[in-house]
């Protein structure tokens, strides 16, 4: 899920209210200013992105590597999907800010900021594996208040708005709810790959992996949606950028889960992220990571 670095200070200017006075902000400001994002608009974003990504999936790719000394691929599908998403946002919310993985920042800092990862899991995308998705989230005064993950190949849409989390796809629409796992020994854990944890973090991560019942790799954004859907219990990732996580925060929280950084801070700016199905499981994972 990692991508090219963005200006984190720019993101912090968007989140300064939440970070500086979280109690005041959450108690008195947020309920008065929470804007509404309709499910229909999220579906429009998903459809516009799918028109660019789906015809290119499992087709030959012209791949550009963004990472000197490593491999961080970007494809025409990434770029064209982000263009389509930006065009829709501009047409409907011209005064809002945008932060996208491929084309950077526009109209920031801003009280409202749309955060876009057109193809989260590009490595899976270019490998023909349907474990990628389009992420679009909305920050209001630094809080992620709405978000969606679209997987057009499987025909699935996971989204949250107005404090509820929903699924649309095979099997029919559902309200998303995390399961009630509280013990690490009973938990299923997902991470993209342990290789992404640097030496100082790998030992901590390994302690948690060794404590859980089952671990799965390579799931990128799909893991967070499976957590919200009650299929897995814990997701731990490191090195995330805002566009990797903002869209997923409201989905997990609205489904009943907990998502923060390793030190318990807001997840919106990325970094070392811990998402769990319950507060008890989250606390146990944090304690073991920091122990």
CA-based torsion, 106, 162, 240, 141: positive or negative = positive
Distances 162 to 18, 37, 38, 137, 223 between C-alpha atoms, Å: 19, 8, 9, 13, 22
Query: Which tens digit of pLDDT belongs to each residue from 188-214?
Result: 999 999 999 999 899 999 999 999 999
Task: Write b or e for each residue in 8-46: b if 16 or more Cβ atoms lie within 10 A of its Cβ, otherwise e.
Answer: eebbeebbebbeeeeeebeeebbeeeeeebebebbeebb
Q: 215 forms bridges with which residues in the sheet? A: 189
Pairing of strands 214-217, 188-191: parallel
Q: Tell me, what's the pLDDT at 3?
A: 40
Give me the pLDDT at residue 32, please.
Answer: 54
Q: Is the sign of the CA dihedral 176, 180, 183, 188 positive or negative?
A: negative
Is the pLDDT at 6 greater than 60? The verdict is no
pLDDT value at position 61?
A: 82
pLDDT at 31 over 70: no
Q: What is the pLDDT of residues 232-265, one digit of tens each?
A: 999 999 999 999 999 999 999 999 999 999 999 9
- pLDDT band (50, 70, 90) for residue 184: very high
Q: For position 18, what pLDDT does the model report?
A: 45
Asked if residues 92 and 41 have their Cβ atoms less than 8 Å apart, the reply is yes
Q: What domains, with CATH codes, occur in the chain?
A: 8-175 (3.30.540.10), 184-290 (3.40.190.80)
Nearest Cα residue to 29 out of 147, 165, 145: 145
CA distance 279 to 285: 10
pLDDT of 20 higher than 50: no
Provide mean pLDDT across the span 175-182.
98
Task: Read off the tokens for 172.
Answer: 């029919």
| pLDDT per position as a tens digit, 132-176 | 999 999 999 999 999 999 999 999 999 999 999 999 999 999 999
Average pLDDT value for residue range 268-285: 98
Answer for the pair 74, 66: CB distance below 8 angstroms, yes or no. yes
Q: Are strands 174-175 and 214-217 parallel, antiparallel or unpaired?
A: unpaired
Name the percent of the chain lying above pLDDT 90: 81
């Amino acid at each position: 899920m990692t991508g090219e670095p963005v200006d984190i200070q720019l993101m912090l200017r968007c989140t300064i209210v939440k970070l500086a006075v979280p109690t005041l902000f959450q108690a008195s400001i947020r309920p008065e200013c929470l804007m509404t994002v309709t499910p229909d608009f999220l579906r429009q974003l998903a459809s516009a992105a799918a028109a660019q990504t789906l015809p290119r999936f499992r087709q030959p790719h012209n791949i550009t590597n963004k990472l000197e000394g490593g491999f961080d691929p970007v494809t025409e599908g990434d770029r064209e999907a982000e263009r389509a998403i930006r065009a829709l946002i501009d047409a409907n919310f011209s005064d809002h800010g945008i932060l996208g993985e491929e084309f950077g920042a526009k109209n920031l800092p801003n009280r409202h900021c749309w955060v876009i990862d057109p193809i989260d899991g590009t490595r899976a995308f270019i490998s023909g594996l349907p474990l990628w998705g389009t992420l679009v989230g909305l920050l209001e005064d630094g809080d992620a208040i709405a978000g969606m993950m679209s997987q057009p190949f499987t025909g699935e849409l996971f989204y949250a708005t107005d404090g509820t989390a929903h699924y649309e796809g095979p099997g029919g629409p559902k309200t998303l709810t995390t399961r009630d796992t509280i013990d690490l020994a009973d938990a299923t854990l997902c991470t993209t790959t342990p290789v992404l944890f640097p030496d100082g973090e790998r030992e901590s991560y390994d302690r948690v992996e060794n404590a859980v019942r089952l671990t799965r790799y390579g799931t990128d954004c799909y893991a967070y949606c499976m957590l919200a859907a009650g299929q897995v219990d814990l997701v731990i990732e490191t090195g995330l950028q805002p566009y990797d996580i903002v869209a997923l925060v409201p989905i997990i929280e609205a489904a009943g889960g907990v998502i923060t950084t390793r030190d318990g801070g807001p997840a919106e700016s990325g970094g070392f992220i811990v998402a769990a199905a319950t507060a008890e499981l989250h606390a146990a994972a944090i304690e073991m990571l920091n122990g």
